[in-house]
Amino acid sequence: MSNMLSNPVLPGFNADPSFVRGLDEFGNTVYYIANSTFEYFPGVQIHRSYDLLNWELVARPLDSVELLDMKGDPDSGGIWAPDLSYADGKWWLIYTDVKVTEGSFKDCTNYLTTADSVFGPWSTPVKLTNSGFDASLFHDEDGKKYLVNMYWDPREYKHPFAGIQCTEYSVTEQRLLPETSRIIYHGTNVKLVEGPHLYKLKTPAGEFYYLFAAQGGTTYTHQEVVARAKTLDGVFETQPGGFEGEPFLTAYDTPFNYLQKCGHGALVEVGGASKTGDVTQNEWYFAHLTSRPVKNPLSSEIDPRGYCPLGRESAIQKVAWNQDGWPEIVGGKQGAQFVEVPELEVPAQVPNVHQGNREAYALPFDFQTLRIPFTSELGKYEKAESCAGGTAKNGQSDERDCFGELTLYGRESLLSLHTQAHVLRRWQSLNFEATVKVEYDPSTYQQSAGLSAYYNTQHWSALSITNRGNSLPGGLDNPSARMLQITKTDRGNQTSILSVNSITVLIPDGADVWLRLSVCDSTYYYSFSYDGYNFTILPFTGSTTELSDDYTLESYGGFFTGAFVGLFNVDGTGLGIPAKFSEFEYTELDDKPTELDD
């Protein structure tokens, strides 16, 4: 018996999947995918599945400054390509914190932390190396462990991606053994070799060490290659075929494929009572990053292929092994939207996620902060007592009461790399509405709070409640009243959309205000309401393509995340006045948002 999964299995910004099989607290076989989180805190997202079809966000391990200190990290810095593995009865997590993304040097540190459960607690991190990023840990059959990572070359006359470094790790000494370090693979002329994962497998052609690695950069030229050697000291030879070797996975030459940018992933054996290492025993699957571009009807679908506001997502492909002992993607190396998976039994008893990270988390679990933890410095959150709700418009169940109440104290602007009072959740669809009630009483134009459509500090827009005057003590004698403003920052250039178009939307005294972001494929809109149900669209049409890796890449190199919807409070006065957010609702739609029907 088999089922069909639909890719991507993790929609929205869930890049660089580390795919692993292990045992849960009750001894059940369980599958996890760990993803990059870059500048978003807590670091690393872990989803869990027992059947490969249904995935649940269960943990974000790097939830303290002791484990992860990202204050001041650049856009698209922070956590790159974590690696989660299961060995010796515990979980091992390798992660990289990148401090410099532009220029000749790539200042980053790779760490190791361990835990008996993915729910933690996680051990004090061990600093490993600064030589490169995308590190992973290989557990060999003889008990030895090896760290593999891409090796960075800062010399301007050399290509910076110098190859894949392999270094033995001493568990007893909790350190790498530098005398064992060597470059085991240089990739092909596609260049940009990174994202390595090592496996020791028995194939029809014999037993080999297999190295899976990404190449080509995470754009439309992205790919995954496979190389192998009889020993770790041997020469790793690339899978034969093509010009210099056959890509294992790529959509580069299939521009109309549903999944694009395919590459960078990890291999897992599925089925059977235990991991055998013999490719003839069970089935094999490969989790990889992918993107789904928004097409521009005025441009070629081949070059450029489009923009990806949802960022890099995670997909799963079935793998077969040929008689020469090389892996192949079932259905073609471009990757498929629908993939056959075995019918795996979901156990009756599984660890309760709500007694793990969810209950201890300081925010609604879908939300993260930028670079720093959510503490009393930024605000407070009160969970909802129940989610009974009522009936909303169109007969849909109203779940707004499930959000509870979030209070944010005004802090630095949305340009800041340090202290933003800004909590955000991923876009996971290109047809959705996000609505929130905001209670806020600013007294100056230096104070604003509201709803954002955010990619990074240089690319975002926001609908905010602010003040058109300045009624602070000693301030100007301008008329003081609450008003709405749409602010857009595009490549660092700010525009106050309503004001520059001579539009003023004053908020009646004492009125409650609901704000809404409506996303419809390549465009998005803002609207507001005074009763939470009847919304007025504001005169602004945003482009979702401007909140994408691809758009950012046109002006500079930091391009690794995806679009978010955020709740924020900015206060340039330093007074930190509060804004209360409630009744937040994120609703994915089958069609365009309802208020756009007219």
- Does residue 3 sit in helix, strand or coil? strand
363 within 8 A of 375, measured Cβ to Cβ: no
49 within 8 A of 381, measured Cβ to Cβ: no
The closest of 331, 508, 425, 324 to 57, measured between CA atoms, is 425
Joined tokens for residue 424:
């955000």
Amino acid at site 408: L
Q: Whole-angstrom Cα distance, residue 93 to residue 523? A: 38
Q: Whole-angstrom Cα distance, residue 225 to residue 18? A: 16
Sign of CA dihedral 414, 371, 35, 9: negative
Q: Is 97 an annotated catalytic residue?
A: no
List C-alpha distances in Å: 443 to 191, 438, 469, 494, 592: 55, 16, 7, 22, 37
The closest of 29, 34, 3, 2 to 18, measured between CA atoms, is 34
Q: Whole-angstrom Cα distance, residue 207 to residue 383? A: 53
Q: Left, alpha or beta for 428 (phi > 0: left; psi -120 to 50: alpha)? A: alpha
The values of phi and psi at residue 20, to 5°, are -145, 150
List C-alpha distances in Å: 130 to 15, 62, 596: 22, 19, 50
Choosing from 73, 75, 134, 194, which is the catalytic residue? Answer: 194
Q: Is 16 an annotated catalytic residue?
A: yes
**Do you know the residue count of the chain?**
598
Q: Whole-angstrom Cα distance, residue 278 to residue 572? A: 62
For the annotated catalytic residues, the residue numbers are: 16, 194
